[in-house]
Chains A and B, each alone.
Chain A
Amino acid sequence: MANVSETAAGAVEAGHDDHEHPGFLKHHFDTPAQQYNASKLGMWVFIATEILMFGGLFCAYAIWRGLQPEIFDQAHHFLNKIMGASNTVVLLFSSLTAALAVRSAQTGKRNLTSFYLIVTIVCAAAFLVIKYFEYSHKFHLGLLPGHCFGHPKLSAAIQNGQEVGTCLRVDVNAAPVMPEWVKAIDEEGHVTVLSPRANMFFALYFVMTGLHGIHVIVGMSVLAWVLYKNIRGTFSPAYFTPVDLGALYWHLVDIVWIFLFPLLYLVGKPE
Chain B
Amino acid sequence: MSAEAPHVTDHDDGAVHVHIASTRFYIGIFAALVCLTIATVKVSYYDFGSANIIIALAIAATKGALVATFFMHLRHDKLFNTLAFLAGFVFLAIFILLTYDDLGVRAKQMPWSYVQHISAETGELAPGGEPATSATQDDVNEEGPPKAGEPAKGEKKE
A residues sitting closer than 8 Å to B (CB atoms) are 30-34, 36-37, 40-41, 44-45, 47-52, 55-56, 58-59, 62-63, 66-68, 70-71, 73-74, 81, 85, 88-89, 92-93, 95-96, 98-100, 102-103, 106-109, 163, 168, 170, 180-181, 183, 190-198, 237-240, 244, 247-248, 251, 254-255, 258-259, 261-263, 265-270
Contacts and interface: CB of A to CB of B under 8 A. Distances in A.
B96 interface: yes
A108 B103 CA distance: 54
Given A108-B2, A193-B144, A266 B41 contact: yes
Interface of B: 1-3, 5-6, 14-18, 20-21, 23, 26-27, 29-30, 33-34, 37-38, 40-41, 44-47, 52-53, 56-57, 59-60, 63-64, 67-68, 70-73, 77-78, 80-81, 84-85, 87-89, 91-92, 95-96, 99-100, 103, 117, 119-121, 126-129, 131-132, 140-141, 144-146
B144 A44 contact: no
A41 B128 contact: no
Given A103-B23, A238-B15, A267-B52, A74 B144 contact: no
B88 A49 contact: yes
A180 B27 CA distance: 51
B20 A107 contact: yes
Nearest to B92: A55
Given A259-B64, A270-B46, A98 B85 contact: no
A263 B23 CA distance: 31
B84 A44 contact: yes
A240 B5 CA distance: 15
A36 B140 CA distance: 62
Contacts of B37: 85, 88-89, 92
Nearest to A43: B81
Majority SS at the chain B contact face: helix
A66 B126 contact: no
A203 to B, nearest CB: 15
A108 B5 CA distance: 10
A268 B46 CA distance: 10
Given A37-B78, A52-B88, A191-B141, A197 B120 contact: no
11 contacts: A40-B78, A67-B103, A70-B131, A95-B33, A95-B71, A106-B18, A107-B5, A180-B120, A195-B128, A197-B117, A266-B40
Closest 10 pairs between A and B when the two form their complex, measured CB to CB:
A195-B128, A31-B14, A48-B88, A51-B88, A262-B56, A266-B44, A55-B92, A96-B30, A70-B132, A44-B84
B3 A107 contact: yes
A36 B67 CA distance: 21
A51 B18 contact: no
